[in-house]
Amino acid sequence: MKKLRIAIPHGDINAIGYELIFKTFAESEMLDMCTPIVYGTPKVAAYHRNALDIPAVFSIISQPAEAREGRLNLLNTIDDELKIDFGQLSPDATRAAKVAIDQALKDLQAGQVDCLVLAPSCPIDGKTAEQYIAAQLQAADAPLTILIGAHLRLAFATEGLTLSQVASNINETKVQAAVETFRTALQRDLRVTAPRIALLRTDLSQQTSTPAADTEGGQSFYGPFSAPEFFAQGNLTPYNGILSLYDAQALLAFNCLEAEGGVRFTAGLPYIVCAPQVDNRYTNAGKNQADCTTFRQAIYLAIDTYFNRVNYDEPLANPLQKLYHERRDDSEKARFKKS
């Protein structure tokens, strides 16, 4: 099996990205699974290593082809002197995060790396790191964020909206597109053969048009359900995924049910993009207290998704040729042919 090259932009240099990376790849079995390439800067990496007192070892490279298996590789993306101020937003941090993502995307599109796993990042050009990546890739379909935990797969039709903004920013067409993107991701990326998706509604459902449940052949989504009632009943097992109209609608429920956190997967993109779902990227910065579990899970998910796509796409790329020819009997035509 091919050992994948995982591109890891270092994210916000004032947050916990380097700590998560160092702790994850301190485990030799993680280096057996993939070849990690951190897009960042040796000076910042060394600063974090010393400040956290983590005995991390990495090889400095200038291009992905130089990456060594069994090692943590660091590709230098910026030579500027960067001021590190743990737990604080700064122009230096934003610039360094953007440069790292841009270079990783360039190498991803060139086929020099296989997947993208994001360290916790600051906003870039007013967007989340995933939204920025989607804009740079100019994806035909709107990207869909899916939170994946041990028990739930939760997708958001919109993100960053307040309840009062939902009605004017969502409609039946947009929800239907989200359902289709979610269904495709469940089948192709997560190996769910016949997905069953629960659709949530809000108290604004009279003003917010949502598609009726698919009741005929090939049923794939059900609802819409009231979010509080749906989660209060606790009967989630019939569904392979849940689609929320906006992120705050179900994020609390996800955090309560997934105590160890989850992974953010961006569906609808031509490349695999994963990130850990973390809320303490600043409060824990520089303290050597960050838990690398969700970052490790993001690496696992990226690897699994890559091979799931290969296995899903392979038979479709080379369909079997028809093994017979329809018999054509022209005798009847000859009988009725005008002389």
In contact, 156 and 144? CB cutoff 8 Å: yes
194 residue type, one letter: A
Closest to 276 measured CA to CA, from 256, 290, 257? 290
Q: How far does Cα 129 stand from its chain's mean position?
A: 11
Within the chain, what is the greatest distance between any pair of CA atoms? 98
pLDDT band at residue 210 under the 50/70/90 scheme: low
Q: Which of 119-133, 160-174, 249-263, 283-297 has the lowest mean pLDDT?
A: 160-174
pLDDT band at residue 184 under the 50/70/90 scheme: very high
The model's pLDDT over 2-54, given as tens digits with 9 standing for 90+, comes to 899 999 999 999 999 999 999 999 999 999 999 999 999 999 999 999 999 99
Please compute the mean of the pLDDT values over residues 263-282 and round it to a whole number: 92
Q: Which residues contact 29 (CB under 8 A, 6 or more apart)?
A: none
Q: Whole-angstrom Cα distance, residue 295 to residue 301?
A: 10
Residue 130 has pLDDT above 60, yes or no: yes
The model's pLDDT over 308-324, given as tens digits with 9 standing for 90+, comes to 999 999 887 776 665 55
pLDDT for the residue 234: 80
Mean confidence (pLDDT) of the chain: 88
pLDDT for the residue 322: 59
In the block, which residue shows the tokens 């005995």?
Answer: 55
- Give the residue, 182 or 326, on which the prediction is more confident: 182
Residue 86, classed as helix, strand or coil, is: coil
β-sheet bridge partners, residue 118: none
Closest to 9 measured CA to CA, from 89, 102, 93, 94? 102
β-sheet bridge partners, residue 116: 7, 273
Order of all β-strands in the sheet with 34-40: 59-61, 73-76, 34-40, 4-9, 115-117, 273-277, 262-267, 144-148, 153-156, 241-244, 197-201, 221-226
Please compute the mean of the pLDDT values over residues 149-173 and round it to a whole number: 87
pLDDT for the residue 1: 67
Per cent of the chain over pLDDT 90 is 66
Residue 335 has pLDDT above 50, yes or no: no
pLDDT band at residue 170 under the 50/70/90 scheme: confident
138 residue type, one letter: Q
Tell me the pairing of strands 73-76 and 153-156: unpaired
- Give the residue, 311 or 205, on which the prediction is more confident: 311
pLDDT for the residue 338: 47
The model's pLDDT over 55-89, given as tens digits with 9 standing for 90+, comes to 999 999 999 999 999 999 999 999 888 999 999 99
pLDDT band at residue 216 under the 50/70/90 scheme: very low
Please compute the mean of the pLDDT values over residues 101-126 and round it to a whole number: 96
247 residue type, one letter: D
Please compute the mean of the pLDDT values over residues 255-279 and round it to a whole number: 92
pLDDT for the residue 236: 87
Residue 209 has pLDDT above 80, yes or no: no
- For the whole model, what pTM was predicted? 0.88
In contact, 251 and 240? CB cutoff 8 Å: no
The per-residue b/e assignment along 11-32, b for 16 or more CB within 10 angstroms, e otherwise, is bbbbbbbbbbbbbbbeeeebbe
Q: Whole-angstrom Cα distance, residue 33 to residue 28?
A: 9
Residue 260, classed as helix, strand or coil, is: coil
pLDDT band at residue 235 under the 50/70/90 scheme: confident
Closest to 93 measured CA to CA, from 129, 127, 132, 121? 121
Neighbour count for residue 88 (Cβ, 10 Å): 13
Give me the sign of the Cα torsion angle 29, 32, 34, 39: positive
